[in-house]
């Protein structure tokens, strides 16, 4: 959990007022500043929960992705694509998971040059325990009910589509 600031005012609202006085109204500035602060708060909360399991959010996401795969293994390139991160980040994440015996690397039988990351039994145990902790704390979003969480997802969806993350018309099962 992040350290409370306990300010007597909302610094983002104050910045928005100062912005308006200097350059005119700009709701997107207040929105992005709020989103960035929310990201800091959520990352601190999630990281504090995952730290007890020896994980970061990036490592947790990789383990979860491997549990979603049919046989617990995926090519490193597919992991990067699904997690929307650079190949170097995938390599670093898998390196650290491998050092912790949570994943193992093996040659890809379908591609002689490729490598698969495979979740180990220890990795499956850790991801189950970490997931239980995250779910117990609503992934840091406990101040919102399920409907509000669904609305947040819906409100941010066009931004992700516009960024080219995926084509909105594709059903989730095909992605």
Q: Are 127 and 60 in contact (CB under 8 A)?
A: yes
The count of structural domains within the chain is 2
Residue 15 lies in a domain: yes
User: Could you tell me which residues come within 8 angstroms of residue 12 by beta carbon, excluding any fewer than 6 positions away?
Assistant: 30, 33, 34, 37
Q: Which of 57, 79, 80 is nearest to 69 (CA)?
A: 79
Name the residue range of residue 129's domain.
56-137
For residues 120 and 100, give the distance between their C-alpha atoms in angstroms, rounded to a whole number: 10
Q: Is the domain of 45 the same as that of 101?
A: no
Residue 24 lies in a domain: yes
Asked whether the CA dihedral 102, 105, 106, 108 is positive or negative, the reply is positive
Q: Is the domain of 43 the same as that of 64?
A: no
What would the pLDDT profile of 62-108 be if each residue is shown by its tens digit?
Answer: 999 999 999 999 999 999 999 999 989 999 999 999 999 999 999 98
Q: Structure pTM?
A: 0.85
Q: Is the domain of 32 the same as that of 85?
A: no
Percent of the chain clearing pLDDT 90 (strictly above) = 82
Q: Is the domain of 117 the same as that of 131?
A: yes
Query: Would you tell me the crossing angle of helices 57-68 and 76-83 to the nearest 10 degrees?
Result: 110
């Amino acid at each position: 959990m992040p350290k409370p600031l306990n300010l007597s005012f909302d610094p983002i609202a104050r910045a928005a007022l100062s912005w308006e006085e200097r350059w005119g109204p700009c709701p997107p500035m207040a929105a992005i500043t709020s989103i960035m602060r929310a990201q800091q708060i959520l990352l601190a909360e999630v990281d504090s929960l995952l730290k007890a399991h020896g994980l970061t959010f990036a490592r947790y996401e990789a383990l979860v992705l491997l549990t979603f795969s049919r046989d617990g293994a995926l090519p490193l390139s597919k992991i990067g694509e699904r997690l929307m991160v650079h190949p170097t980040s995938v390599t670093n994440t898998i390196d650290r998971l491998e050092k912790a015996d949570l994943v193992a690397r093996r040659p890809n039988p379908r591609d002689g040059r490729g490598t698969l990351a495979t979740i180990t039994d220890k990795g499956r145990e850790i991801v189950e325990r970490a997931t239980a902790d995250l779910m117990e704390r609503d992934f840091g979003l406990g101040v919102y009910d399920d409907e509000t969480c669904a609305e947040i997802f819906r409100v941010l969806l066009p931004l992700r589509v516009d960024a080219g993350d995926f084509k909105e018309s594709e059903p989730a099962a095909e992605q």
